[in-house]
Amino acid sequence: MVRLLSLLALALAAASPVVEETWPPPWWPFGHDHWAVLVAGSSGYGNYRHQADVCHAYQLIKKAGVHPSQIIVLAVDDIANDEENPYPGKLFNKPTLAGTPGVDVYEGCKIDYSGKSVTPDTFVKVLTGDAAGLAGVEGSGKVLKSTHKSRVFVNFVDHGGVGIIGFPETTMHAKDLIGALTTMHTSKMYKELVFYLEACESGSMFETLPEGINIYATSAANAKESSWGTYCGPDALVNGVNIGSCLGDLYSVNWMED
């Protein structure tokens, strides 16, 4: 019954736009609200798929009823208008044959922190609600303002290695990610938190995740294997035109197309 009520609430939210001042709406179930943090940690046209994944996730989460004011996006934002992009100002996460335009996931995708602001430090401050710590960082200034009644979704997409995930100019270590999540728990910033991590060896980032803190983490790979791009090479066609880079990542498009 709880699951059915949750689905009903999301359907109502998608059908009835809610003004920001009254969020969460009075009918929102169980006294909680939803937040999301979405991160594409890479740069360069060869990594087209990461920003396409994240903008697709933004569209789905917004459609499900999460208010845009409660979705925070980090992405360098250098792909949509890259000179290599045959569709300037657009991103696609799924191929289509000639005659079918495809779905532009970039349109309306609100990116809060871009360019050199996409760093592990920005990510940690967004997660832990440290707005003061972002003073001087270019971006919207948005951080999580979730409470003990909130449900938080985090989606990180990029390259990785054993105990690390990538950012454009540096890496983030597992201990720093676990530290941020532990701080969130201590500060009562969620009722439940779900983390989807797309990167090679991504399972290694959660090996020291404490038990009993109401976090469900799932990853594209275990601690010793690669994750994979998809819709690549001859399959990277939108309206019959080859994008010249993979459109998505296998793990990411599977959960988003489900």
Query: Which residues are marked as active site?
Result: 159, 200
d(CA 89, CA 5): 38
Q: Which residues contact 143 (CB under 8 A, 6 or more apart)?
A: 72, 125, 126, 128, 129, 130, 131, 134
Assess contact for 110 and 73: CB atoms under 8 A. yes
d(CA 67, CA 250): 27
Using left for φ > 0, alpha for ψ between -120 and 50, and beta otherwise, residue 17 falls in: beta
The owner of tokens 């998505």 is 248
Q: Which residues contact 31 (CB under 8 A, 6 or more apart)?
A: 149
